[in-house]
Amino acid sequence: MAEVTKTFEVAGRPVSFTVGSVAEQANGAVWARMQDTIVLCTATMSKEPREGIDFFPLTCDYEEKLYAAGKIPGAFLRREGRPSEQAILNSRLIDRPIRPLFPEGFRNDVQIVATVLSVDQEMDPAVLAINGASAALHISDVPFQGPIGAVRMGYLDGQLKVNPTLPELERSDLDLVVAGTQDAIIMVEAGARGVSEQVVVDALEMAHQEIRGICRAIEELRAEVGRPKIEFTPPEYDPEMVQAVHEYLAPRLDEAVYGPDKAERESRVETLRKECRTALVERWPDAAEVLDKLFDKKLKDRVRQRVIEEGIRVDGRGLEDIRPLEVKVGVLPRTHGSGMFRRGQTQALTILTLGTIADAQKLDGLGLEEYKRYMHHYNMPPFSTGEAKPLRSPGRREIGHGALAERALLPVIPGQEEWPYTMRLVSEILSSNGSTSMASVCGSTLALMDAGVPISQPVAGIAMGLVTREGRYAILTDIQGVEDALGDMDFKVAGTASGITALQMDIKIKGLSREMMAQALEQARRARLVVLRAMLDVIPEPRKEMSKYSPRITTIQINPDRIRDVIGPGGKVIRKIVEETGAQIDVEDDGRVFVTSSDQESARKAIDWIRSLTDEVEVGRIYRGKVVRIMPFGAFVEVLPNQDGLVHISRLTDHRVDRVEEVVNIGDEIMVKAIEIDSQGRLNLSRQEALEELAARGQPVDEKINMDAVAAALAAAPSGPDGRERDGRGRPRGERRGYGERHGDHRGERRGERSRSRSER
């Protein structure tokens, strides 16, 4: 096949789809490029349908190749292993908008593989992968009822922007991915910093304008290189069988379906299903599977009919009613924070664990972010739905729900400067009947507040549903599981009292209008405020005191040049501090030191130790120092560890002395004032000025030298034959000494001392 390239613009940037040069054995393959970001998208279909299944076997895989960003994998084998969480989320991002556009009853396996070959850290490969997958499907013979297009929307400086660069997204108040057809929006995924519902509606409208252009370009590409679609005829049912199922269920269905308790309702429905099959299988002995399908169609139609015509839902609620709420905090005594949130028969328990900066998660992916200090994980064990089945590692659904809750809370999490902790939230779903991800958002807010995390605002979430029938529709607030299964939409909305922080919408029809979206967002806002009030009635603000089991982190700032003094050779010093104090210590390159301990005394010892290693002498400050060496011209006094200065003999006291030992001796502790750091980096001190300043302040002088012994030494000083008082060398007091005696030795000794200190360090 000859190579064909289709080039078009999205928000003023060229995008190209190339067909015919690669992956020729796939049903459809597109080399998608935007600037220097390139994604190979392939669509492959099995020759025959899969037997014995009642679902469409679609698989979407987003493959991150670290060579695309010039990286070598960090794993032991130095090759890509299991997909990163972001890759799994991007796989879901491809799956969700294309799945509704396959014909009902289609059972051939379809696999989409989007391989990221090059990233420029400017353009988002995930959105390009959605568009490339749509193009690959549309030009293939797979019976895909597209095409679709996708864009990412930002909100910067009060203005909406289509496909902002990744650096721009870092400061954007909105990160919204929108996918749709020429006619309507199909999928929405968003994180936001409290933007209004109107901003979201306007963003959706602007996004759809660009999506229409992408769909036109894909249609033009198909006109050039597209393959004929395979013929697929949806299954048809015997009209007599359809009528028989209707007549059997009509007087019985409402009694089985309608009731507040999920387990009882499901039991009644399953019993009725078996009775219907038993009653009709004699007439159609080989149609048990078909009878079950007709039962499901009748059940779905009846539930939707009563919602549209009567405004009645399966549990008796009105369209905007919220199920009963229950809120608890502090339910686990030894965890750092915990919150329990129940909405009807959906119950989530979230636990918060605080850790140090060293506990942050290292990310091995194609994005700009390298570490993550706030994590949210979601678990849904089988008992939450009354099932018994093997426990497995988290699947795509669990990862997706955890990421949605994480995104919802991220805008209110305090920055590292204000709150230097790593945070891990885990939501355990104890009971599931719809909207567990939004229940985990509420439970997580409660856990954060219970732990004393200073979040800026509480966040709550609600799930909205949609029922359409014969041209009419109804928006449902707080959908439960059966309404998700039998309805047309699952639209999750999370936010604060002032705005939206996260969105996720999946639909089963071919799109939503602007009016439907606006109504769903407004109903969600009203419901969110109700849930927030219930939460704030229990805990109106984050606790002032942390749990006694929580680690305490103290941040101190040191000169980055002194980091080596804290670390020591081969980490010797920092290990010793940790071993002897019991505190954990993390040092950042900018000089921030995080000292973590649940024991205040051990933290204080570690901080004092670090300060003793890193504090630098400040001119004008008074210190208590220790005399470490005496020279004829003065005393060297250590004021900080490994930092000493000279008190010249003339600055020891307020009267003249000829011998330093007349005032101080080695080992004495004296008060000194730092008066100068000269051009050669030498520290000069003054005991006299320190004493005078302390006296002027009215502060008592607390020196540990023996003043009585000093006075006695002065009185016993020897005198010469001329009657002049002499010093210990027999020289008359006050006689000027040579420059070498007064200064030369001092300078030489200081140079030697500094040289030794450097070599020791």
Dist CA 292 CA 273 (whole Å): 7
Pair type for strands 552-557 and 374-379: unpaired
Q: How confident is the model at residue 757 (pLDDT cuts 50, 70, 90)?
A: very low
239-310 CATH: 1.10.10
**Superfamily for domain range 325-538:** GHMP Kinase, N-terminal domain (3.30.230.70)
Q: Is pLDDT above 50 for 707?
A: no
Burial 332-367 (b: 16+ CB within 10 A, else e): beebbbbbbbbbbbbbbbbbbbbbbbebbeebbbbe
**Superfamily for domain range 623-760:** Nucleic acid-binding proteins (2.40.50.140)
325-538 shares the fold of 4-225: yes
Q: Are 409 and 448 in contact (CB under 8 A)?
A: yes
Q: Is pLDDT above 70 for 729?
A: no
Q: Is pLDDT above 60 for 751?
A: no
Residue of 64, 25, 65 whose CA lies nearest to 42: 25
Dist CA 243 CA 522 (whole Å): 41
Q: How confident is the model at residue 153 (pLDDT cuts 50, 70, 90)?
A: very high
Least confident residue range of 115-119, 332-336, 485-489, 521-525: 485-489
Q: Residue 732: its pLDDT value, please?
A: 38
Q: Are 89 and 30 in contact (CB under 8 A)?
A: no
Least confident residue range of 5-19, 38-52, 450-464, 611-625: 611-625
Residue of 171, 183, 137, 158 whose CA lies nearest to 30: 137
Q: Residue 507: its pLDDT value, please?
A: 86
Q: Residue 597: its pLDDT value, please?
A: 87
Dist CA 752 CA 682 (whole Å): 12
Q: Residue 704: its pLDDT value, please?
A: 63
Q: How confident is the model at residue 368 (pLDDT cuts 50, 70, 90)?
A: low
- Mean pLDDT across 160-183: 94
The residues near 210 (Cβ < 8 Å, ≥ 6 apart) are: 10, 11, 149, 151, 162, 163
Q: Residue 537: its pLDDT value, please?
A: 97
Write down the residue that tokens 């450097």 correspond to: 758
- Mean pLDDT across 369-390: 90
Dist CA 534 CA 473 (whole Å): 30
Instruction: Kindly report the CATH class assigned to 4-225.
Output: alpha beta
pTM for the structure as a whole: 0.80
CA angle 182, 186, 190 (to 5 degrees): 120
Dist CA 238 CA 244 (whole Å): 10
Q: How far is CA 27 from CA 1, 20, 135, in A?
A: 13, 11, 12
DSSP three-state, residue 64: strand
Q: 688 or 722: which carries more pLDDT confidence? A: 688
pLDDT in tens, 730-744: 333 333 333 233 333
How is residue 616 annotated by DSSP? -
Q: Is pLDDT above 60 for 219?
A: yes
Provide the CATH topology of domain 552-614: Ribosomal Protein S8; Chain: A, domain 1 (3.30.1370)
Q: 459 or 713: which carries more pLDDT confidence? A: 459
Q: How confident is the model at residue 354 (pLDDT cuts 50, 70, 90)?
A: very high
Q: Residue 289: its pLDDT value, please?
A: 86
Domain ranges of the chain: 4-225, 239-310, 325-538, 552-614, 623-760
Q: Residue 224: its pLDDT value, please?
A: 94
Residue of 466, 522, 515 whose CA lies nearest to 495: 522
The continuous run of DSSP H or E covering 534 comes out as: helix 514-538
Least confident residue range of 223-232, 420-429, 488-497, 712-721: 712-721
Strand arrangement, sheet containing 37-49 = 4-10, 13-19, 28-34, 37-49, 108-118, 58-64
Q: Is pLDDT above 50 for 718?
A: no
**Residue 292 is encoded by which pair of tokens?**
């079950």
Residue of 104, 101, 107, 117 whose CA lies nearest to 42: 117
The continuous run of DSSP H or E covering 627 comes out as: strand 622-631
Dist CA 558 CA 566 (whole Å): 10
Dist CA 740 CA 747 (whole Å): 9
pLDDT in tens, 575-612: 999 999 988 999 988 888 999 988 888 888 988 888 87
- Report the mean per-residue pLDDT for the chain: 88
Q: Are 307 and 297 in contact (CB under 8 A)?
A: no
Dist CA 475 CA 494 (whole Å): 17
Q: Is 615 exposed, middle or buried (0-12, 13-18, 19+ CB in 10 A)?
A: middle
Q: Residue 681: its pLDDT value, please?
A: 84
Q: 508 or 452: which carries more pLDDT confidence? A: 452
Least confident residue range of 132-141, 167-176, 366-375, 683-692: 366-375
Q: Residue 227: its pLDDT value, please?
A: 94
Q: Are 474 and 466 in contact (CB under 8 A)?
A: yes
Dist CA 377 CA 361 (whole Å): 13
- Mean pLDDT across 425-435: 94
Q: How far is CA 82 from CA 4, 38, 277, in A?
A: 34, 21, 44
Q: How far is CA 621 from CA 144, 421, 572, 628, in A?
A: 78, 34, 31, 20
Q: How confident is the model at residue 357 (pLDDT cuts 50, 70, 90)?
A: confident
Dist CA 186 CA 346 (whole Å): 27
Residues in the chain: 761
Q: How far is CA 393 from CA 362, 404, 425, 510, in A?
A: 20, 18, 17, 33
Q: Residue 711: its pLDDT value, please?
A: 41
Q: How confident is the model at residue 716 (pLDDT cuts 50, 70, 90)?
A: very low
In 10 A of CB 29, how many CB atoms? 24
- Mean pLDDT across 402-407: 94
Q: Is pLDDT above 60 for 689?
A: yes
The residues near 223 (Cβ < 8 Å, ≥ 6 apart) are: none
**Residue 217 is encoded by which pair of tokens?**
């370009």
Q: Residue 702: its pLDDT value, please?
A: 65
Q: Residue 721: its pLDDT value, please?
A: 34
pLDDT in tens, 59-82: 999 999 989 988 888 777 788 888
DSSP three-state, residue 460: strand
386 Rama sector, left if φ>0, alpha if ψ -120 to 50, beta otherwise: left
Q: Is 525 exposed, middle or buried (0-12, 13-18, 19+ CB in 10 A)?
A: middle
How is residue 512 annotated by DSSP? B
Q: Residue 624: its pLDDT value, please?
A: 87
Q: Is pLDDT above 80 for 439?
A: yes
Q: How confident is the model at residue 14 (pLDDT cuts 50, 70, 90)?
A: very high
Hey, which residues does 153 pair with through a beta bridge?
A: 162, 176
| Distant-in-sequence contacts of 316-322, Cβ < 8 A, 24+ apart | 316/258, 316/259, 316/260, 319/474, 319/475, 319/476, 319/477, 320/477, 320/523, 320/526, 320/527, 321/477, 321/478, 322/462, 322/477, 322/478, 322/527, 322/530, 322/531
How is residue 725 annotated by DSSP? B
Residue of 664, 666, 646, 674 whose CA lies nearest to 754: 646
